[in-house]
A and B are shown apart, each in its own frame.
Chain A
Amino acid sequence: MKHWTITMFVAALAAVTGAAQSLDDLNIQIHGYATQGFVYTTSNNWNSMNSSDGSPAWTEAVFNVTAQPEPKLRVGTQVRYFLMGSEFGNAITLDWASGDYKVNDKFGVRFGKVKTPNGLFNDIQDIDTAFLWSLLPQGNYPITSRTSILAHYGGVVYGKLPLGKQAGKLEYQLYFGERVLPAGDGFFVPIIEGGAEMPNGLTGPTSGGTLRWYTPLNGLLLGVAWDREDLTGKFEVPGVFNGENIDAPFKIPYFFGKYENSKWMFASEYSRVPADHKTMVTSDIIPQAPPVGTILHNVIDHRTWYAMTSYKLTEKFTAGIYYSSYFDVKAPRVTYLDSTNYPHYWYNRFQKDWALSARYDVNQYIYVKGEQHFIDGMNFGFLDADNNSLSPTSKQTILKIGVNF
């Protein structure tokens, strides 16, 4: 699927450039933005940063080129440099590369490596310049897994259907293709911390969609989304056994709503990940390992939600607050030692977070953000490898500057 979508994208690019008489015909646009963050945490270091002493190891830069030779056809690509701490990013990756053919407002199709439109913010969660928050609620939008979950190889079919003057509009976005979680993705950090490895990451079919009802009340939208993942990959506990991840497809529902006017914004979202991650032992290395053919289960039921609001105090200054909650219903609320004597702390399996945020737009190109988090629970970003001992609570201060063009 990955090779097929890249081939289609290259073909679209060739068609676009072949048909153009000059560069003007292509309507080429170049845009980009860059951000520099500074993070300070009390008690615990965060995401491989030395944040308890204050760390500037959070940098992003995006470069975007699009061409639109005709009103219905657009081709573009976007690359990103992302650095977080010593373990995440520090590489240039492809955000998306796609061809988009929009027949009309009711039907269009996008293919290539494309943003995955689910939830309220999934396809824009990495666009720091677009919103108030320095960090979106991590239970729904974990920053270290962002690269993998915000785009897929395949396509999106989209459109907006008018429902009549008294009923608003219904926007649909349906997607299909292949999801690729590379071996270095932040999704695997807890697995690696537990002594296991996913040497090839996870790949497999993905599909889903989002329905957004733009209600007759101007500014109010309500939505549902669903995501189906069928991912497989190798699973190893070095020196103990090798295995193959044989997950049954799992489905993630999302429910969300948002209201905004010229001053206020209110939004809330809930999602749930119930899954039984199954691993089949394919070779046992030591006698104590589970026998070949044994299926190991890791049953999870992650539930996460947030509620947020912001207010535009002046034309340039916006402030907001959110509360987010994440927990695994299946996880025991006690600290225990596993069979290899590795401790699993109870406060690693949930996270509640109050965030106060502010943004000042110096002009249309430059902005600064400040954010204060009050975190209870250490599920996102507080790693044993970065800390001598983990405290169950932490405060986190973030300062950011961004430029865009």
Chain B
Amino acid sequence: MKKLITVILFTAMASIFAVRAQAQVIVIANPGVKSNEISKNDLRDIFTGAATSLPDGTRVVPILLKAGTAHEEFLKAYVGKNDTVFRAGWRSLVFSGQASMPKSLEPDAVVVDFVAHNSGAIGYISANAPHEGVKVLTVK
């Protein structure tokens, strides 16, 4: 019984920390983007160059953070790749003539400013970063 309680407690703690890790990054978009939510698959497709539009037809432009914890968390949670593999994937598209490299900006405030003033822009920032002028997309 003692072991079972320990396992349950451990699992609960791990879940809490997992949720906290995901909540450390928020996905933001230009207010002109129609949707208020985005699926994990669509988010991954946009940020890997596999798609350029949301299911509602809005053309979107991904904006990356150059580096940092929020960038790493975003890649881990929503793309499933580390930064090296992620950028190698984009280079495949760029050097084969299929895409342009998305903009990489820093810090969070610069990302927010760009997303707020560029139609279709979609990015990600730290959850506790100010984000006036943009909308937050719920990832489902």
Which residues of chain A have a CB within 8 Å of any CB of chain B? 27, 29, 31, 33, 62, 64, 66, 68, 71-72, 74, 76, 78, 96, 98, 100, 102, 104-105, 110, 114-115, 123-124, 126-127, 129-131, 160, 218, 261-262, 312, 315-316, 361, 364, 404
Chain A residues near B51 (CB-CB < 8 A) = 105, 160
Contact of A364 among B81, B83, B94, B97 (CB under 8 A): B83
Q: A31-B95, A76-B97 are in contact. Are A160 and B80 (CB under 8 A)?
A: no
B-side interface residues, number (CB < 8 Å): 28
Contact yes or no, B97 A315, CB < 8 A: no
A-B contact pairs, 29 of them (CB 8 A): A27-B100, A29-B100, A31-B94, A33-B91, A33-B95, A68-B100, A72-B59, A76-B100, A96-B96, A96-B97, A98-B97, A104-B53, A104-B57, A104-B59, A105-B53, A115-B96, A115-B97, A129-B88, A129-B91, A129-B95, A130-B88, A130-B91, A130-B95, A131-B88, A218-B80, A262-B81, A312-B82, A315-B84, A364-B87
Contact yes or no, B97 A127, CB < 8 A: no
Chain A residues near B53 (CB-CB < 8 A) = 104-105
What residue in chain A is nearest B120 (Cβ atoms)? A71
Chain A residues near B89 (CB-CB < 8 A) = 130
What residue in chain B is nearest A126 (Cβ atoms)? B95
Q: Give the shortest distance, in Å, between B110 (CB) and chain A (any CB).
A: 16
Contact yes or no, B88 A123, CB < 8 A: no
Chain B residues near A33 (CB-CB < 8 A) = 91, 95
Chain A residues near B92 (CB-CB < 8 A) = 124, 127, 130
Contact yes or no, A123 B50, CB < 8 A: no
Contact yes or no, A100 B85, CB < 8 A: no
Q: A64-B95, A115-B96, A124-B96 are in contact. Are A102 and B52 (CB under 8 A)?
A: yes
Give chain B interface residues in 47-83, CB to chain A under 8 Å.
50-53, 57, 59, 61, 80-83
Give bound CA distance, A62 to B50, whole Å.
24
What residue in chain A is nearest B55 (Cβ atoms)? A162
Chain A residues near B94 (CB-CB < 8 A) = 29, 31, 64, 66
**Does B101 touch A at the CB level, under 8 Å?**
yes
Pairs of residues from A and B, 8 with the lowest C-beta to C-beta distance, nearest first: A130-B92, A361-B84, A127-B95, A124-B92, A123-B96, A115-B96, A96-B97, A315-B82
Give bound CA distance, A124 to B95, whole Å.
8
Contact yes or no, B97 A78, CB < 8 A: yes
Chain B residues near A315 (CB-CB < 8 A) = 82, 84
Give bound CA distance, A225 to B95, whole Å.
21
Q: Give the shortest distance, in Å, between B104 (CB) and chain A (any CB).
A: 10
Chain B residues near A115 (CB-CB < 8 A) = 96-98
Chain A residues near B97 (CB-CB < 8 A) = 66, 76, 78, 96, 98, 100, 110, 114-115
Give bound CA distance, A49 to B62, whole Å.
44
Known: A66-B97, A102-B52, A262-B80. 11 other contacts (CB 8 A): A64-B95, A66-B94, A71-B61, A76-B100, A104-B59, A105-B53, A123-B98, A127-B95, A130-B89, A262-B82, A312-B82
What residue in chain B is nearest A316 (Cβ atoms)? B84
Q: Give the shortest distance, in Å, between B71 (CB) and chain A (any CB).
A: 11
Chain B residues near A71 (CB-CB < 8 A) = 52, 59, 61, 120
Chain A residues near B120 (CB-CB < 8 A) = 71
Chain B residues near A29 (CB-CB < 8 A) = 94, 100-101
Give bound CA distance, A31 to B91, whole Å.
9
Chain A residues near B87 (CB-CB < 8 A) = 364
What residue in chain A is nearest B67 (Cβ atoms)? A364
Give bound CA distance, A100 to B99, whole Å.
9
Give bound CA distance, A74 to B99, whole Å.
8
Chain A residues near B91 (CB-CB < 8 A) = 31, 33, 127, 129-130, 404
What residue in chain B is nearest A112 (Cβ atoms)? B97
What residue in chain A is nearest B76 (Cβ atoms)? A262
Chain A residues near B95 (CB-CB < 8 A) = 31, 33, 62, 64, 78, 124, 126-127, 129-130
Chain B residues near A105 (CB-CB < 8 A) = 51-53
What residue in chain B is nearest A80 (Cβ atoms)? B95
What residue in chain A is nearest B119 (Cβ atoms)? A71
Give bound CA distance, A258 to B57, whole Å.
29
Give bound CA distance, A127 to B51, whole Å.
22
Chain B 88-117 per-residue mask, 1 if CB under 8 angstroms from chain A, else 0: 110110111111110000000000000000
